Structure 1
Amino acid sequence: MLTGKQKRHLRSLAHHLQPIFQIGKGGLNDQLVRHIEEAIETRELMKISILNNNTDDRHEMATELANRADAELVQVIGKTIVLYKESREHKEIILPKAKA
């Protein structure tokens, strides 16, 4: 679970990123989730955009995607989802320490 300070740090890092995946009218499917899991392992932080032809609730979709990809939901802003997952092999992002 990320703290507010850690989420702010990740949002600042994600600001300049471009969305890598797009969720269209088909919504979430197993193949898309699998591709996101593979990509987030190497990138740690990513943006995913929701296309206008998708009518699903974006907050519910973001929560479901984070759960299925075993990642942390950093932010949902507009039609953009920001996810974070600490990489086992390609760790680059150092999060601020959480207070005990």
Structure 2
Amino acid sequence: MSSEFPPGLKKRANQLPPSIRVGKSGLTEKAINEIKARLEKKELIKVKFLNTAINGNKKELFKELAERTDSVLVLTVGFTASLYKKKSAK
């Protein structure tokens, strides 16, 4: 596991219910902004995609999601991706 993850993060990610569902419109700006907002509040979230939302390669889509939300991809299972973003110190 990467040093950028706290210990036990994959286990926590596996047990989380999906907090956001992405529909057939895919990764719209609205969806990206909602994911960013949830990451600011919770640090670790799970995003579930409908199979109609994925046009092409899932791995590439999950990688794009992590890049666009400035987060780290922790775990992927099927059509679900878990993302982690360390809370900013205020």
Q: Normalising by the residue count of structure 2, what TM-score does the alignment of the two structures yield? A: 0.85
Aligned to 2:41: 42
Identity of aligned residues (%): 31
User: Superposition pairs for residues 1-40 of structure 1, below 5 Å?
Assistant: 3=2, 6=5, 9-40=8-39
For the pair shown, the structure with the greater C-alpha radius of gyration is 1
Partner amino acid, structure 1, of 2:2: T
Q: Which runs of 5+ in 1 are unaligned?
A: 91-100
After superposition, give the CA deviation of every residue in 1:26-78 in whole Å (9 maximum; x if it has no partner). 11011110111011011000100011222322211111110000000111111
Aligned to 2:79: 79
Q: Distance in 2 between matches of 1:7 and 1:60?
A: 25
Q: Distance in 2 between matches of 1:7 and 1:77?
A: 20
Contact 1:7 / 1:74 at 8 angstroms: preserved in 2? no
Q: Which runs of 4+ in 1 moved over 3 A?
A: 4-8
Shift of 1:7: 7.7
